[in-house]
Structure 1
Amino acid sequence: MRRYLSLAVLTLLLVTSVVSAEEKSKHVLLLGIDGCRFDALTKANTPNLDKIRASGIYSPTTLILGDRYKKNDTISGPGWGSINTGVWADKHNVQGNSFKDPKFDKYPHFFHYVKKSMPQAKTVSIINWPPIAKYIVSSADVSIDTKKDNSYEEADDAAMAAAVEQLTQDDNPVAMMLYFGEVDGAGHANGFHPTVPQYIAAIEHVDGLVGGVLEAIEKRTDQEWLIVVTSDHGGFGKGHSNGQTNPDILNSFLMVSGEGAEKGKFEKQIYIVDAVPTLLTYLGVEIDDAWELDGHAVGLK
């Protein structure tokens, strides 16, 4: 009798576990670290980003330009335009940082597609490079720019605090974009290279901030999060402009992490425009060919 009772209890526990897993709501975080080289990231002491990478699949050679179009400058405007929309600069038309005649009405921020599919889903953008908020972000229920009269390090601290505040609310985001800018600032001031102490220190500081965000996410035990981490460009010397033929600038990285992600290292070429379709597909948003996305969903189970 005891044996059969134990088997019944075990079966009930297994069924309860499956049902519990099925009841978890899906959420996504697009985490951007401006101007971060992957070789410097791997040299720095980054336990939190290492944890994200180990919990998913990654590419250390994610290209910031596509095969079809390579004429835009290799700087933040085109980079974040492509990352947040899933299309290259010949479509969103941000060729540099002036944002002259952008086409974000036709090729919008990925929040637009989230809200179109799930109107009640909360979308949150937290950045500290103001052009992202001014030109790129759309369909955000909450849009926060933490860059005031402060340093990028202080702005990153404020961005982390704002993200944690959003994540601990009852109606926390279904989709969040979080941007850290101090690594790029350190590169411009001191050099984009793993041998530059200030550049490494900035990466390590951002990693600590990422740890605070991860801690808040991990407390949401009723939710399943997919985290995609990337950067808009690398760097060479103290810059990254006109880097169309420089692999130190052209190569970014992409991490896709969480229970819904594959594990290991990508064997195929990955691009920064792959971030958006990956996030949308994970959320169950059906991608319409009419959107003309250049990227593809990658790294999902």
Structure 2
Amino acid sequence: MKRYLSLAIVLLLLASSSSSAAEKTKHVLLLGIDGCRFDALTKANTPNLDKLRASGIYSPTALILGDRYKKNDTVSGPGWGSINTGVWADKHNVQDNGFKEPKFDKYPHFFHWVKQGMPTAKTVSIINWTPIAQYMVSSADVSIDTKKGTSYAEADDDAEAAAVAEIAQEENPKAMMLYFGEVDEAGHAHGFHPTVPQYIAAIEHVDALVGSVLEAIEKRTDQEWLIVVTSDHGGAGKGHGGGHNNPDILNSFLIVSGEGAQRGKFDQQVYIVDAVPTLLTYLGVKIDDAWELDGHAVGLK
């Protein structure tokens, strides 16, 4: 009798464990590091970004321009416009950093589609490049711009990481977008290259902040997160404009990390516009052809 009772207890515990795993809710984080070259990322001491890469799938050559349209400048406006919407610049119409006639009403920030599919979902944007908050972000329950001065100081990125740590615990976000700006600032000031100490130092500082973000997320044991990491462009010398024929500028990177991600290295070409459909697909948001997304879901199990 005791043997059968013990077996029943084991089966009950297994069922309970399975139920707990099934109860985990899905959440997503789009993590942007402005102006970050992948070759510099791999040279820097980045244990937290290395951890994300090891627990997912990555590409060191995610292109910032598409096959159909290549006329926009290789700067932050078009880059983050494409990353946050999943469409190229001929659609969202941000051709440079001027934002003259953006079309984010027709091709909105991915939070819009999250909200359409999940009206009660909490969405959070924390950035320190003001045009993202001013022009791109929509359908955000929380939108924070930590930019204080005229340059992207470490303090601005520090403030972002602190905000994420608080919000992840208190607000229970379904979808977050987090942007770090200091790597791009270091590139413009000192040079975009793995041999530039200040550029490497900025990447390492951001990695430490990523660690605090991961720590906050991992405390939520009832949640399963998919984290997509990318950048809007690379760099050469102290700039990145007009880089249409320069691989050091055209190549960004894409990391898709989490329990729901594949492992290894992409064997196909991926693009920065693939971030949004990947996040939406993971959340279970059905993508409508009418949205005209240029990207595709990549790297998911």
Shorter-chain TM-score: what band?
Answer: over 0.9
Q: Any residues of structure 2 matched to 1:12-51 within 5 Å, and which?
A: 12-51=12-51
Greater Cα shift, 98-107 or 141-150: 141-150
Deviation at 1:152, TM superposition (A): 2.2
**Normalising by the residue count of structure 1, what TM-score does the alignment of the two structures yield?**
0.98
Distance 1:151 1:88, change over 3 A: closer
Task: Please give the root-mean-square deviation of Cα atoms over the aligned residues, in Å.
Answer: 1.0
Matching residue's letter, 2:17: S
The secondary structure found in structure 2 opposite 1:168 is helix
2:205 and 2:42 mapped to 1: Cα distance?
14
Asked if 1:189 is matched to 2:189, the reply is yes
Stretches of structure 2 that go unaligned for 5 or more consecutive residues are: none
Match of 1:165 in 2: 166
Match of 2:133 in 1: 133
1:231 and 1:252 mapped to 2: Cα distance?
6
* 1:97-155 superposed Cα distances (whole Å, 9 cap, x missing partner): 00010010000000000011111111000000000000011110110000012742110
Deviation at 1:8, TM superposition (A): 2.4
The secondary structure found in structure 1 opposite 2:211 is helix
1:46 and 1:151 mapped to 2: Cα distance?
20
Deviation at 1:163, TM superposition (A): 0.9
Greater Cα shift, 6-15 or 258-267: 6-15
Deviation at 1:2, TM superposition (A): 4.2
1:105 and 1:133 mapped to 2: Cα distance?
14
Match of 2:259 in 1: 259
The secondary structure found in structure 2 opposite 1:228 is strand
Matching residue's letter, 2:128: N
Matching residue's letter, 1:17: S
Task: Report if the CA contact (8 A) 2:84-2:276 is conserved.
Answer: yes
1:296 and 1:81 mapped to 2: Cα distance?
16
Q: How many residues align?
A: 300
2:13 and 2:56 mapped to 1: Cα distance?
27
1:148 and 1:86 mapped to 2: Cα distance?
29
The secondary structure found in structure 1 opposite 2:52 is helix
Match of 1:295 in 2: 295
Stretches of structure 1 that go unaligned for 5 or more consecutive residues are: none
The secondary structure found in structure 1 opposite 2:26 is strand
Match of 2:59 in 1: 59
Task: Report if the CA contact (8 A) 2:281-2:297 is conserved.
Answer: yes
Deviation at 1:192, TM superposition (A): 0.4
Using the aligned pairs only, state the percent identity: 82
The secondary structure found in structure 1 opposite 2:198 is helix
The secondary structure found in structure 1 opposite 2:57 is strand
2:17 and 2:249 mapped to 1: Cα distance?
46
Greater Cα shift, 2-11 or 100-109: 2-11
1:40 and 1:4 mapped to 2: Cα distance?
60
1:68 and 1:115 mapped to 2: Cα distance?
29
1:35 and 1:151 mapped to 2: Cα distance?
12
Match of 2:81 in 1: 81
Task: Report if the CA contact (8 A) 2:128-2:152 is conserved.
Answer: no
